[in-house]
A and B are shown apart, each in its own frame.
Chain A
């Protein structure tokens, strides 16, 4: 049972200042721990792991951990990750995004990454709020919740990340919580190991910006809320509709075995470049076709 924290220390950047910037009791540190343990359990070397983070509190995680790390622009982590994965499919590319990152400004990138099934693992740290910018409502803020920009209560409905990712075609969809860490370790490791696009929504508390305004004064209050309301999927499914209330299921939601885009592309390339295959006149056909189709079809230029 030992070696949990010391193991984490081995993966932290020793030239980076600790403690990290997160508030006391922020779940992001726990996610970082789970991520490190998962990578360690998979036996991956630090060099083959690339962490791509967006903007927001979650984006800051990248700087602390001794992998290849890229801290990108707001909402765009998955686009950078797609480029990195396609450029070097041997890398294990893991994106860390917040709910604002992944569901609002980067929502389009999320559904397309899922659709094209790029071999990237997406961790969506859902704390129901824009934490770093001061507590404005996000696309996952529950209806009725009070935030800086919904002082009279949120009227809009919240996104269900898991359902959205599944509908968009993700190869693997999981939800974990920062309280149920053993399960989280397992989910994250599975999501990293499997082919194609795998997403883990992680319920993580932000008492500073969300809890404070919504009856959860401290980090402990928020963890109690998570402990009570995150129930394993099997149990949740067995609950009568009336008893579900605020509860949300955690566990495995989708597991498909489609090949990742980078794998399909590699196979295509191998086929096209097989020795003995006649080299087609490359430049002509496509350009010619393009010109013709432009003339014949009613292609609306953007």
Chain B
């Protein structure tokens, strides 16, 4: 069981393609952290033409204190679910920040230091419902983020989806959570690496 920890502007960017459910993912993750974990959270997102077909994104700032500036400045965690999004936002990751990609869709990462799971493939293969991919990511993020609790996130999921979708989405959440548990070590992930190019690849699956 994780315990709430002191955060000072932890910035997350969720990015990908329109239709992947990025905005919903942001809302559920933010809602869980704000209402369930008691953090201050601001969630902003890209709107309009930018959000169509091309890159879609949702930004979260998580903090133990009141958040003044609601947008992200230097990203602690970038989740890139498309190649374009990975290219577009990689440069905003702060030193020591983490990149998490859909390793099925993001073939080229700008750095060797990243975490990856083939979220889309997993979802299609195991759940047969590609739309649930964002919740698989949510499960993985819940494992990865030291301050997110699975119990709380599942509740957030239930609270923001109609009852008839609960079963499927909780399954998706569990899939992401357990796959991430097999693949990632959160402690290691959040320990700053001295050198990006030490050849220590941590590509998983």
By the criterion CB–CB under 8 Å, are A298 and B52 in contact? Answer: yes
Q: B27, A296: Cβ atoms under 8 Å?
A: no
Looking at the assembled complex, report how far the CB atom of A297 sits from the nearest CB atom of chain B, in whole angstroms: 8
A295 proximity list for chain B (CB < 8 A)? 18-19, 22-23, 51-52, 56
Closest to A284 in B: B160
- Chain A residues lying within 8 Å of B51, measured Cβ to Cβ, are 294-295
Residues of A contacting B24 in the complex (Cβ-Cβ under 8 angstroms): 288, 291-292
Contact A291 B27 (CB under 8 A): yes
Residue-wise, chain B 47-90 has the 8 Å CB interface mask toward A (1 for contact) of: 11101110010000000000000000000000000000000000
Q: Which residue of A lies closest to B47 (CB)?
A: A294
The residue from B18, B45, B47, B160 contacting A296, defined by CB atoms under 8 A apart? B18
Q: Which of chain A's residues have a CB closer than 8 A to the CB of B18?
A: 295-296
Look across to chain A and name the residue whose beta carbon is closest to the beta carbon of B48.
A301
- By the criterion of a CB under 8 Å from any partner CB, how many residues of chain B are at the interface? 18
Q: Is the interface of A mostly helix, strand, loop or mixed?
A: helix
The answer for the CA separation of A285 and B49 in the assembled complex, in Å, is 23
Given the complex of chains A and B, what is the CA–CA distance between A291 and B23 in angstroms? Answer: 7
- With CB as the reference atom, state the residue of chain B lying closest to A300: B49
> Which residues from A are CB-within-8-Å of B48?
294, 301
The verdict on B199 contacting chain A, using a C-beta distance below 8 Å, is no
Residues of B within 8 A of A291 (CB): 23-24, 27, 45
Candidates A285, A294, A298, A301; contact of B162 at CB < 8 Å = A285
Residue of A nearest to B22 (CB): A295
Size of interface on A: residues with Cβ below 8 Å to B:
10
Residues from 56 to 74 in A contacting B, C-beta threshold 8 Å:
none
Q: How far is the CA of A109 from the CA of B83 in the complex (A)?
A: 49
List residues 18-32 of chain B with CB under 8 A from any CB of chain A. 18-19, 21-24, 27
B19 nearest CB neighbor, chain A only: A296
A162 to nearest B CB, angstroms? 43
Please measure, in the bound complex, the distance between the C-alpha atom of A160 and the C-alpha atom of B45, giving whole angstroms. 50
Residues of B within 8 A of A294 (CB): 23, 47-48, 51
Chain A residues 131 to 164 lying within 8 A of chain B, measured CB to CB, are: none
For the complex, give the distance between the alpha carbons of A67 and B160 in Å: 51
In the bound complex, residues from chain A placing their C-beta under 8 Å from that of B47 are 294, 301
Complex alpha-carbon distance, A292 and B25, angstroms: 11
Chain A positions within 8 Å of B52 at CB level = 295, 298
Query: In the complex, how many angstroms separate the beta carbon of A149 from the nearest chain B beta carbon?
Result: 42
Contacts of A94-122 to chain B: CB distance below 8 A: none
Q: Within the complex, what minimum Cβ distance (angstroms) separates A293 from chain B?
A: 11
> Which residues of chain B come closer than 8 Å to A301, judged between CB atoms?
47-49
A268-302 to B contact mask, C-beta < 8 Å, 1/0: 00000000000000001100100110111010010
Minimum CB distance partner of A299 in chain B: B52
B183 CB, min distance to chain A CBs, angstroms:
28
Which chain A residue lies CB-closest to B46? Answer: A295
- Say whether B22 contacts A288, CB under 8 Å: no
Query: Which A residue's beta carbon lies closest to that of B49?
Result: A301
* B18 and chain A: residue at smallest CB distance: A295
B32 → chain A closest CB, angstroms:
14
Looking at the assembled complex, report how far the CB atom of B45 sits from the nearest CB atom of chain A, in whole angstroms.
Answer: 8
In the complex, which residues of chain A have a beta carbon less than 8 angstroms from the beta carbon of B160?
284, 288
Given A298-B52, A301-B48, A292-B23 contact (CB < 8 Å): yes
Q: Which residues of A contact B162 (CB under 8 A)?
A: 285
CB nearest to A297 among chain B residues = B52
Say how far A180's CB is from chain B's closest CB, in angstroms: 57
Bound state CA distance, A292 and B160, in angstroms?
13
How far does the alpha carbon of A73 sit from the alpha carbon of B17 in the complex, in Å?
Answer: 47
Can you name 14 A-B pairs with beta carbons within 8 Å? A285-B162, A288-B160, A291-B23, A291-B45, A292-B23, A294-B23, A294-B47, A295-B19, A295-B22, A295-B23, A295-B51, A295-B56, A298-B53, A301-B49
Q: A288-B27, A292-B24, A301-B47 are in contact. List 13 more A-B contacts (CB 8 A).
A: A284-B160, A285-B162, A288-B160, A291-B24, A291-B45, A292-B21, A294-B47, A294-B48, A294-B51, A295-B18, A295-B52, A295-B56, A298-B52
Q: Which residues of B contact A (CB under 8 A)?
A: 18-19, 21-24, 27, 45, 47-49, 51-53, 56, 159-160, 162
The list of the 4 closest CB pairs from A to B, nearest first, reads A295-B18, A291-B23, A296-B19, A301-B48
